[in-house]
Amino acid sequence: MPSHNGYNLYQHTALLALVGLLVMALFFRSTRYAAPLQAQGGSSLRFYGSDTNDRDRVKIPLGQIDSAGRLITSHPVNVGDAFTLEFWMKTALGNTAPPCPTGWYTGNIIIDRDVFGAGDYGDYGVAICNQRLVVGISVGSDDRLLIGNTVVTDGLWHHIAIVRANDGKVRLFVDGQLDGTLNGPVGRIDYRQNRSTSYPTSDPYLVLGAEKHDFPGSRYYDGWIDDMRISRIARYTSPFIHPTVPHAVDDDTVALYRFDEGSGVVIGDSATGGLSVGELKPRTGGAAQHWSNDTPFTTVVITTATHTATPVPSPTPTHTATPVPSPTPTHTATPVPSPTPTHTATPVPSPTPTHTATPVPSPTPTGTAKPMSSPTIVSVPPTTTPTLPIRIYIPLILQPRLAPSTLQSGVAPYDQPNHQSNRSHQSCYYQPT
């Protein structure tokens, strides 16, 4: 019957409109609370500068080590002549070592590839003294020290590069700017294979974040480290635009630590072959506290809300959880201004509103059917094709600040061939009061 059919049409149309409105409501709720934006930049490693007894650090064996602590093979990370050591760092509050003219090993130690006592073939280390970086390199008993200029304890991410050339010249770059130079000793500095040692659990290792021997009175690094690349060439001899994305792998990369594992104690080596694997030695409390989302890189992942059908069970939106994970909570005491103002200004396109309601032409009235007074709004289901994440790396590094003319004072006053501060802990170690 025409009237009966018309009634059904009216009913169905009204029902469709109701369903459409309901779907639209769900869509907007889900798009509002589905966290379409997510900041991702891998992870970094957090050191606390507090624990001793072989904890709160990363230990990277320089090769296969036998039961007596001798290297029976040498891994690529055991660099011997020219090398480049580069990484990002961001300090917390605990790096308070005073000037350390007697040696890097009295500072807050970031990298320790020391040999207890004289360096044998050689040894080296990187630390913070008086808020500046220092780099020590020794060959045999020839121990020399480079003292940087730039204050790096500002709670911002900095790209650090330490470059040693074959002629012994050492250059320190902070954010691509030359921060100090040193006429270092010439000769190989790798850890000698089959060398006997009284410190089998520390000498034949590259250690990050701590003084490897836990010598009494030592200071440790308090802060973050990310994306450390070690190369067998001198990559930089003059100021450069520091990288704003994770370091690349090439044939000269002998070790690369992304620190992107995010959990556990294995520190993977992303260099070709991946032979120089390290181990996180957590401080008391476990490994999780050492993994941080605070990195120099931010990847903005943009996803469209393709899951609008996901019902929101709670009638009251409980969107108190911020979708972007905050940095390590323990660092909140350090107010860190955003180094790159454009970070927050990055326009993020909102999800494509493909969900726009499509007007559906009203059915043609037939017979005596009750005419429709207006088009019916029917929601078109959103596309089910997931949109691929768009990754945009946004550097959090300050632009270079130093003028080349300020760099001359970077030459260490202890750049003397006969300098005596050769890791003789007993004679020159800083004694805290």
Nearest to 179 by CA among 155, 217, 149: 149
Q: Does 226 bind Ca ion (CB under 5 A)?
A: yes
For the bound state, the minimum distance from the C-beta of residue 88 to Ca ion, rounded and expressed in Å, comes to 8
Contact set for Ca ion, span 35-64 (CB under 5 A): 42
User: Residue type for 423, please?
Assistant: R
Which is nearer to Ca ion, 60 or 402 (by Cβ)?
60
For the bound state, the minimum distance from the C-beta of residue 119 to Ca ion, rounded and expressed in Å, comes to 5
Task: Determine contact, residues 180/407, Cβ cutoff 8 Å.
Answer: yes
Residue where the block lists tokens 């010249």: 169
Which is nearer to Ca ion, 34 or 396 (by Cβ)?
396
Q: Other CB atoms closer than 10 Å to residue 98's CB: what's the count?
A: 13
Instruction: At 408, list the tokens.
Output: 């001359």
Alpha-carbon gap, residue 134 to 165, rounded angstroms: 17
Contacts of 59 (CB under 8 A, 6+ apart): 205, 206, 207, 212, 278, 279, 281
Q: Which of 423, 425, 429, 430 binds Ca ion (CB under 5 A)?
A: 423
Task: Determine contact, residues 69/199, Cβ cutoff 8 Å.
Answer: yes
Query: Which residue of the chain is nearest Ca ion when measured via CB?
Result: 423
Which is nearer to Ca ion, 260 or 415 (by Cβ)?
260
For the bound state, the minimum distance from the C-beta of residue 109 to Ca ion, rounded and expressed in Å, comes to 13
For the bound state, the minimum distance from the C-beta of residue 185 to Ca ion, rounded and expressed in Å, comes to 12
What are the start-end ranges of the H helices in 337-424?
342-345
Which is nearer to Ca ion, 96 or 340 (by Cβ)?
340
Alpha-carbon gap, residue 202 to 214, rounded angstroms: 9
Burial class (CB in 10 A: 0-12, 13-18, 19+), 347: exposed
Q: Which of 86, 112, 114, 120 binds Ca ion (CB under 5 A)?
A: 114
Q: Which of 54, 214, 252, 260 binds Ca ion (CB under 5 A)?
A: 260
Instruction: At 222, list the tokens.
Output: 């308090």
For the bound state, the minimum distance from the C-beta of residue 317 to Ca ion, rounded and expressed in Å, comes to 34
Which is nearer to Ca ion, 270 or 303 (by Cβ)?
270
Which is nearer to Ca ion, 248 or 345 (by Cβ)?
248
Size of the site for Ca ion (CB under 5 A): 11
For the bound state, the minimum distance from the C-beta of residue 66 to Ca ion, rounded and expressed in Å, comes to 22
Task: Determine contact, residues 189/169, Cβ cutoff 8 Å.
Answer: no
For the bound state, the minimum distance from the C-beta of residue 40 to Ca ion, rounded and expressed in Å, comes to 11
Contact set for Ca ion, span 240-259 (CB under 5 A): 258-259
Contact set for Ca ion, span 122-151 (CB under 5 A): 123
Which is nearer to Ca ion, 161 or 369 (by Cβ)?
161
**Binding region for Ca ion (CB under 5 A):** 42, 114-115, 119, 123, 226-227, 258-260, 423
